[in-house]
Each structure stands twice: as structure tokens, then as C-alpha cells.
């Protein structure tokens, strides 16, 4: 912790506190079935497009509140519009649902709860939005390109459908993450506030896990169908081609 004598404020190494304080949550999130399958290249479009749908509502809420609070003494320090994902998610939703996508999508129960929490902290404790931005944006920047390649290969996407992972306004993601972490460390907060932000980040991880768990039913069903198709394949008479049994 450092003290700014001129302004009589304190700052803590928030980036490090968040990294260390959310390690367990991060590990738990990576071990949710949907995420484990995703990282292994098992992705199917029904589940993935529902994830995109839910993230659209989450990011829309977060970015609307960030825009509203952009002059707030704390939020202004981590206000980076180049991180915004709403438009890229809209592009992906159009890809998966078509031009009428706005009438096709709706948030799941977990997404509704996530959005409600974002709105709640934005009104009552704006400093806790730092936790939500950290949990989502730094995660997107850190693993985005890897996840993009996995999604493209798993769903045979040649063009479109992965705009969410593309940060056109951030040419150097590593450098930007360093800038963002420094901005968090420079926030004029005390240790108690920092600990509240870490607690909120752990809660945000749990909300993300709830989103992933909702998708496991569709994914298990798809994997089961794939296995069933594989077991029931037979050779058609007079042909060397494999066919699925009726």
C-alpha cells in the first residue's frame, strides 16, 4: 500500500490482490464441464450461440453503466471504451441467429441474475464495477485468441462468428493489460475497499460459472447424439461409405 500525502489518499496493489484472491475461483471456472469441453475443442453451435446471447446482455449492462459513470472518480480511471464488447457480440448474434436476432434472443435465468447484480452495484457501490470489468475484460484479453481458434476449428467457422474475441482498438494486448493493471493499482482506495472488490470478483466468477453450467445440458445432449451416431453407423449395401442407421 502506498500513501499520496498531497491528496491524502491511499492506493493498494489491487491487480495483485485480484490475481491472488481469485486464483481458486479461476481454477473452479476452468473446471466447469462446458469450459473443459471448450478448451478440448468440443464445442457445438447451439450451446455456443446461447453463451454469446447471455454475454450480450451482461456486457450491455456493464458497458451502459460504465458509460454512465465514466466521470466517476474511480470508474473514470478504468474507463477504456476500446474494451467494449457489445457491438462485437451483436455481430456474432447476427451471424448465429440471422438479421432478426433481436427478436430471437433473451437472457437465461443466470444471465438475468448477473445483469441485476451489475445494475445493483453500479447504483449502490460503483467501485465494485472494477471487479466485474477485471473478471471479464482481462480474461477476454488473456485467452481470447486461443478461444477464438478453438471455436473456429470446432465449429468449422471460415468467416464470422468470433468477433467477440477481436479487439480492433487494441493492437498490443500484452501492453494494454499492463496499462490496465497499473490503472487499477493507481486507484485511490484503501485496503478495505480493495478486499470488497476482490470479494465481488469472486462473486463475478461464480456468476460466470452459473452461465456455463446452464449450457452443459445442451452440450451433453449434443455429445450423446454424436456418440449415438457413431455407434449406429453402418455401411450401406453396395457402398463403402458410412451412413447413419435410421
Given a cut of 80, is residue 231 above it in pLDDT? no
Residues 181/1, Cβ–Cβ less than 8 Å = no
Q: Is residue 220 very low, low, confident or very high in pLDDT (cuts 50, 70, 90)?
A: low
- The verdict on domain 14-244 having CATH code 3.20.20.70 is no
Residue in this structure with the C-alpha cell 453503466, named with its chain if needed:
65
Percent of the chain with pLDDT over 90: 72
Asked if residue 212 lies in contact with residue 110, where contact means CB atoms within 8 angstroms, the answer is no
Q: pLDDT of 133-179, one tens digit each?
A: 999 999 999 888 788 999 999 999 988 999 999 999 999 999 999 99
Residue 216, pLDDT score: 83
Reply yes or no on whether the pLDDT at 223 is more than 60: no
Q: Is 226's pLDDT higher than 60?
A: no
pLDDT at 244 > cutoff 60: no
Which pLDDT score is estimated for 11?
64
d(CA 223, CA 217): 10
Q: State the pLDDT at residue 219.
A: 60
The arithmetic mean of pLDDT across residues 216-228, rounded, is: 58
Beta pairing, strands 9-11 & 2-4? antiparallel
- What is the value of pTM for the model shown? 0.85
Whether residue 238 has pLDDT greater than 50: no
Domain edges within the chain: 14-244
- pLDDT for 44: 85
Mean pLDDT of 80-98: 97
Burial class, 183, CB count within 10 angstroms (exposed 0-12 / middle 13-18 / buried 19+): middle
* Residue 2 confidence class, pLDDT cut points 50, 70, 90: very low
Q: What is the 3-state secondary structure (H, E, C) of the chain?
A: CEEECCCCEEECCHHHHHHHHCHHHHHHHHCCHHHHHHHCCCCCHHHHHHHHHHHHHHHHHHHHHHHHCCCCCCHHHHCCHHHCCHHHHHHHHHHHHCCCHHHCCCCCHHHHHHHHHHHHHHHHCHHHHHHHHHHHHHHHHHHHHHHHHHHHHHCCCCCCCCHHHCCCCCCCHHHHHHHHHHHHHCCCCCHHHHHHHHHHHHHHHHHHHHHHHHHHHHHHHHHHHHHHHHHHEEECCCCCCEEECC
For 124, list phi and psi in degrees, rounded to 5: -100, -30
Confidence of residue 227 (pLDDT cuts 50, 70, 90): low
Amino acid at each position: 500500500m502506498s500513501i499520496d500525502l498531497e491528496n491524502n489518499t491511499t492506493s493498494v496493489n489491487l491487480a495483485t490482490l485480484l490475481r491472488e484472491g481469485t486464483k481458486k475461483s479461476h481454477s473452479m471456472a476452468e473446471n466447469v464441464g462446458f469450459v473443459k469441453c471448450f478448451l478440448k475443442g468440443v464445442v457445438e453451435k447451439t450451446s455456443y450461440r446461447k453463451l454469446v446471447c447471455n454475454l450480450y446482455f451482461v456486457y450491455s449492462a456493464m458497458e451502459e453503466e460504465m458509460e454512465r459513470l465514466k466521470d466517476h472518480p474511480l470508474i473514470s480511471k478504468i474507463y477504456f471504451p476500446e474494451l467494449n464488447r457489445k457491438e462485437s457480440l451483436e455481430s456474432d448474434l447476427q451471424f448465429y441467429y440471422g438479421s432478426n436476432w433481436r427478436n430471437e434472443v433473451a437472457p437465461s435465468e443466470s444471465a438475468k441474475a448477473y445483469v441485476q447484480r451489475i445494475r445493483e452495484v453500479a447504483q449502490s457501490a460503483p467501485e465494485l464495477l472494477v471487479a466485474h470489468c477485471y473478471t471479464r475484460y482481462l480474461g477476454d484479453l488473456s485467452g481470447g485468441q486461443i478461444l477464438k481458434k478453438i471455436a473456429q476449428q470446432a465449429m468449422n467457422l471460415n468467416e464470422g462468428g468470433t468477433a467477440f474475441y477481436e479487439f480492433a482498438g487494441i493492437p498490443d494486448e500484452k501492453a494494454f493489460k499492463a496499462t490496465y493493471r497499473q490503472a487499477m493499482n493507481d486507484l485511490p482506495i484503501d485496503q478495505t475497499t480493495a478486499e470488497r472488490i476482490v470479494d465481488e470478483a469472486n462473486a463475478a466468477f461464480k456468476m460466470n460459472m452459473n452461465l456455463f453450467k446452464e449450457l452443459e445440458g445442451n452440450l451433453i445432449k449434443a455429445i450423446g447424439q454424436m456418440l449415438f451416431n457413431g455407434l449406429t453407423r453402418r455401411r450401406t449395401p453396395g457402398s463403402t461409405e458410412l451412413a447413419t442407421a435410421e
